[in-house]
Structure 1
Amino acid sequence: MRHQTKKKIGKVVTTLAILLLGLLFIAPLLWMIIASLKPETMIFKDMGLAAFLPKDVTLDNYIQILFSDRVNFFHYIWNSLFSVSMIVIFGLIVNSLCAYALVKLKFPGSDLILIVIIALYVVPFESMLIPLYIVVNKFGWINEYPALIVPFIASAFNIFLFRQFFMGIPKELEEAAMLDGANPWQTFWKVIVPNSKPVFATAAILTFVSHWSDFMWPLIVATDESIRTVQVGIQYLFADKNIAYGEIMAALSLTTIPVILIFVFFQRYYVQGITSSGVKG
């Protein structure tokens, strides 16, 4: 009985610690959302725990940011959604096919290619920024959607992630497909892909979150307002003489919605994909 009591107390303490840690991590997000619902004069008036209590709730900040003449917020959101969605869609196809070839279609030099891919993963993006800009400029893609999309379709991390998962798929499934007359292309789409939903969801989430919050590259190659992404667009709110922090908080709150939605819809597959890719291979 005493052992069971200690075990229950341990579970309660662990649960409370996790909840406290979770609240600590989510506190900045909660403050941002609550601040976006306050009048401009009230945002920094209350500090401490009082800052997390909504007072004089208003939607004026959201109305201003969505229908203001200063910032074309809807267009910025569309630019980000379109470019990031294209990166995710084409990236899933290209990276999964590359990983499948490295794992299932052994050919001379495949191991060397894998080593190069892993080595590329540790190269910081900042070191490739100038060469990549020169290449994009040569193609005439500055202020064009391809500049935001094409350089990020292939991902060393996603290739490695797919590879680790594909290595855990039983060979018997492929052999059965081959006996039925399926070629490698048919085997990939009809056998490998249906059994790899977790890793596809994981790669999609990680890619979306990474490029949705990207700021440096869009700031360089998307200088025209017609192709400006939402993260760069929000930065221009700080250029005004009178900075409206309420509008900035509202804009930032709106930009978190796509990230939250993609986690909600793919959370189950995400956890399974991370676990499977980490232990297999």
Structure 2
Amino acid sequence: MSTRSSQSRATSGPPTAWRRLPVHAVRVVLALFFAFPVVFMLVSSFKPDQQIFGDLSGPRAFLPVGDLSLTNYTAVFERVPALRFLLNSLAISATTVVLGIVVNSLAAFALSRMRWPGRKLLLTLIIATLIVPFETFALPLVWWVNELPWLELNGFGLTLTEGWLDTYRVQVLPFVAHGFSIFLFHQYFQSIPKELDEAALIDGAGWFGIYRRIVMPLSGPAIATVAILTFLPAWNSYLWPLMVVQQEELRPVMVGIQYFFQLNPSWGEIMAYSSMITVPVLALFLAFQRSFINSIASSGVKG
């Protein structure tokens, strides 16, 4: 009996952990490779310019050694209204995410759960919009938003004004509806059993009640994924605010980085500013990475 067990152990090979060691080693190497730029940026944000260039020839460029201080971070707030830019981007991105989740999920619900003629054709057209780059219609979009009316509240009541330029709404509303977000919600909604809708309709619930009480509570991973994919372009937006916003108090963080290249560029300050605008994005992804992966995996189950 003992001979048979020893033979089975001999033929079974190394333990599973040892067999997976090369895979883990490759993953660690790839993680370090992609993390090097972020580590260099964070470490350099605490160094003066002379030390940044002096450390480029060796591994000290990635190590927090030498003359470290918070001088670059304090200089950022003295050189540009960084706090104002951060608050603007946070407000614009958060509003775009909230409105995007509501609008895109409602459109996806109508396309995936309700039956009406032409819905498949409409979904195809929505997906087709993804092949059109933003740069091709940026200039026509500027003309359109400049012609759109808006109701503003003043001391005499509501006043109809024309033009959205130099406002917060011009940085939010054109990017609320997005074809990929609708498609992602649609694919996830397809994986939810439609028998739940039938049971709710028999109980007297309406379509909006099914959307609010059944479908959306079961779509946490899809909501988290759409939130990340909506937040990233809103936070990283540069070309559009540069075209439609002239007032400094309305500009987002990405437009603010051009301030550091106007006179005497200080790379320590540039690294500090870049770190300030990168950390929120990393924190958001790390907080929702599990839901992001689950949504991407489940969205391809049923199409």
Band the TM-score falls in, shorter-chain normalisation: over 0.9
Distance apart, 1:278 and its partner CA:
2.2
**Structure 1 counterpart of 2:202:** 179
**For residues 175 and 4 of structure 1, what CA distance do their matches in structure 2 show?**
53
Matches within 5 A, 1:108-187: 108-139=117-148, 140-187=163-210
Structure having the higher helix fraction is 1
Between Structure 1 and Structure 2, how many residues are aligned?
278
1:3 offset after TM fit, Å? 5.0
| Cross-structure match for 2:24 | 15
Distance 1:280 1:31 in 2: 42
CA RMSD of aligned residues (A): 1.4
- 1:4 deviates by 2.5
Aligned counterpart, 1:81:
90
Give the Cα–Cα distance (whole angstroms) in 2 for the partners of residues 104 and 53 of structure 1. Answer: 54
Q: Could you say which residue in structure 2 is the equivalent of 1:198?
A: 221
Equivalence for 1:258: 280
Give secondary structure in 2 for the equivalent of 1:214: coil
Aligned to 1:64: 75
Normalising by structure 2, we get a TM-score of: 0.88
Q: Deviations over 1:238-272 (max 9, x none)?
A: 112x1111111001101112112211221221111
Match of 1:50 in 2: 60
Q: CA deviation at 1:5?
A: 2.1
Cα distance in 1 for partners of 2:124, 2:227 equals: 23
Cα pair distance change 1:3/1:213, threshold 3 Å = farther
Letter in 1 for 2:70: L
Q: Which one is further off, 123-132 or 153-162? A: 123-132
Q: Secondary structure at the match of 2:172?
A: helix
Q: Which runs of 5+ in 2 are unaligned?
A: 1-9, 149-162
The more displaced of 257-266 and 81-90 is 257-266
Code of the residue aligned with 2:125 in structure 1: it is V
Alignment partners' CA distance in 1, 2:281 and 2:302 = 28
TM-score relative to the length of structure 1: 0.95
**C-alpha distance in structure 1 between counterparts of 2:235 and 2:223, whole Å:** 18
Could you report, residue by residue, the CA deviation over 1:55-111 in whole angstroms, capped at 9, with x for unpaired residues? 211111111113x0x300000011111111111100100000000001111212111
Identical-pair percentage: 42
Distance in 2 (alpha carbons) for counterparts of 1:251 and 1:147: 25
Consecutive unaligned residues in structure 1, runs of 5 or more:
none
Mapping of residues 88-107 of structure 1, within 5 Å: 88-107=97-116
